[in-house]
Chain A
Amino acid sequence: MRRSGKRVIPGFGLSMGVTLTMVSLIVVIPLASLVVFTAKLSPAEIWATITRERVLASFKVSFLTAFIASLINAVMGVILAWVLVRYDFPLKRLLDGLIELPFAMPTAVAGIALTSLTSDKGLIGQLFARIGVKIAYTRIGITVALVFIGIPFVVRAVQPVLEKLDPTYEEAAGSMGASRARIFRSVILPEILPATMTGFGLAFGRCLGEYGSVVFIAGNKPFETEITPLIIMSELQEYDYASASAIALVILAAAFLILFFVNLIQARNSKILGR
C-alpha cells in the first residue's frame, strides 16, 4: 500500500506548514484551554458532573434528536442533490439557491420563526394539533429546528461528487438490463456514500451543539426537552467554568469520534475504489 518515501508532487512542506499552523492557531490552542479548565476538577469530580441525572437526560435528548435530524437530512440531502444535479425543471435555480439560507439566518431568528410556525397556534402547528401532535415545545420541535440547521451539509457534500460522477457507467449498466434501483444501489450509492457520511457527520456534530435556535422551540423542561448546550449555558450562568467545560468536552469528544469515524470510512472507501 505504502508508496516509496519520495513524494512526486511538489509543495508538501509549504502546504502542510500553512495547514498545521492555522489548525493549531484556530483549533488546537483554543480547544486546549478547554481541557486546561476541565483539568481543574479531579477525575472523580468530572465523572460526578457528567453523570448527574439531569445531565444524562440532556445527553439522551441531544443525541437522539441530533441523530434523527441528521438521518432525515441525509436522506433528504441525497434526494435534493440528485434532483438538483440530474433533473431540469422550473425554479431549479431558486431551489438550489435556497439551500444555504439556514446558514445566513441567525439561529435565534430561525428558532423564533420556526416556533411561531409550529406552536399549536401557528400555521403548521394547527394542522398537526388537529391530529393531536404537538411540535413546538416537544422533542419533535427540537428535531425540526435541527433539521433546519443541518439542511445544507449533506446536499452540499453530495452535490459536487454527483456532478463529477460519469453517467456512462449508469448507461452501460442500464443497457445491460440492470433495473434503476439496482443501478442506484450498485453504481451510484458507493460513489456518493462517503460524501453522504461526511455530510451526516458534520450535520450531526453541528446539531449536538446547536443552541440558538433550539432554546426557543424546545420548551427546555428538565428531563424532557432540555438539551446539553442549555445545561452548559446554565453552568456558565453559575460561573462554573469547570463543570461547563467538562460537559462540553463530552459533546466535543463525541463529535470528534463521529467525524474521525466518518473520515476513516471516506479514506477506506477511496482505497477500495482503487483511488
Chain B
Amino acid sequence: MKKTDTGITKWLLIGISFLFIFVMLVLPLFTVITEAFRNGWAAYQEAVTDEYTVKATLLTLEATFFAVLFNTIFGLFAAWAVTKFRFRGKKILTTLIDIPVTVSPIIAGLIFVLTFGRQSAIYPILQKMDIDIVFAVPGIVLATIFVTFPFISRELIPVLEAQGTDEEEAAALMGEKWSGIFRKITFPHIKWAFLYGIVLCTARAMGEFGAVSVLSGHLRGKTNTLPLHVEILFNEFKYVPAFAVSSILVLIAIVILVIRSMIEYIGKRNGEDVR
C-alpha cells in the first residue's frame, strides 16, 4: 500500500495514537492484571478454577455463541436489504437496528423483564408451556443478542454502501441467482468488515454486564455469567478474586483478537487486499 505521508506527520499521529491507547486502554488493563495477582499466583489460580467461575465461563461462552450466531444471520440479511434496495422507511429501519447500542443496559434488561416477566400479559402462557425466559438462560441470551444486535450489520452497511449496486445489478441482469450474486460479488467485498463485526460482537457479548444483570437473577452456578460473577465477588468484598475473574475475560478477548489477526495475515499472504 502506498504511503501518502512521510516524516513528522506520520510519527506525530502514530505517537498520539499510542499515547491515547496506552493511557485509555493499556493502563486500565494493567490495573486489572496487577490487582488480579496482588495476592499471588496461588490465590489467582484458586479464584479462576473455582467451581462457580468455571460454570460462569461456560454460560458466558454459550450466551456469546448464540448471540453471535443470531446476529450474524441477522446482519447479513439486514445489510443486504438495506444497501441493495430502495424502499420507504429505510432510514427508520436502520435507526431501529442501531437503537439497541444506545439503549441504557439497565433499560435493555428492564424491557425484557417487562415483556416476559410476571407483569406481562404473556407470562401465564409461558408458564403453562413451562418456558422460563427471565431469570433463566434464555433471558440472558436475549439480552446479549439485544445489546450486540447492530454490531455485524453496522460493519457491513458502510462498506456495501460505498461499493454500490452496479455489480450486483449487472450480474442480476445476466441471470445470476441471489445466492450466486452474494457469494461471488458481494461477499468478497465485505469479508473483512464481516470479520470485524464478528469480533466486535463476540467481544461485546462476553463483556455485557448491565442488561444481563437485570435479567439473570444471579442464581449462583445457574444464571451467572462471568461479568456477573465479577460483580458478585466484588460485592462480597473479594476485591482481588473479582479482578482475577475479570482477567479471564480479558484473556479470552485477547485470544479472539489474535485469531482475527492470524486470519487477516493469511488473507494478506494470499495476496488479498486486506489492509
Q: Contact residues of A with B, CB < 8 Å?
A: 2-3, 7-12, 14-16, 18-20, 22-23, 26-31, 33-34, 36-37, 76, 79-80, 82-89, 91, 93, 95-110, 112-114, 116-117, 123-124, 144, 147-148, 151-152, 156-157, 159-161, 163-164, 167, 170-171, 174, 180, 183, 194-195, 198, 201-202, 204-206, 208-212, 229, 232-233, 236, 241, 244-245, 248, 251-252, 255-256, 258-260, 263-264, 266-267, 270, 275
Contacts and interface: CB of A to CB of B under 8 A. Distances in A.
Contacts of A79: 13, 16-17, 20
Nearest to A152: B200
A34 B99 contact: no
A209 B97 contact: no
Q: A-B pairs with the 10 shortest C-beta distances?
A: A205-B102, A209-B104, A104-B253, A106-B227, A255-B102, A11-B178, A15-B81, A97-B257, A30-B111, A103-B204
Given A3-B86, A104-B249, A180-B9, A18 B243 contact: no
A27 B99 contact: yes
Interface of B: 1-5, 9-10, 13-14, 16-18, 20-21, 23-29, 31-32, 35, 70, 73-74, 77-78, 80-82, 84-87, 90-107, 110-112, 114-115, 120, 142, 145-146, 149-150, 154-155, 158-159, 161-165, 168-169, 172-173, 177-178, 181-182, 192-193, 196, 199-200, 203-204, 206-210, 226-227, 230-231, 234, 242-243, 246, 249-250, 252-254, 257-258, 260-261, 273-275
Contacts, number: 330
Task: Please indicate which of the listed interface residues A7, A33, A116 has the most CB atoms of chain B within 10 Å of its own CB.
Answer: A33
Contact of A275 (B24, B77, B164, B242): B164
A258 B75 CA distance: 22
B202 to A, nearest CB: 8
A31 B115 CA distance: 9
Q: Provide the main secondary structure of the chain B interface.
A: helix
Contacts of B231: 106, 108
Contacts of A147: 24
Mostly, the A contact residues are helix
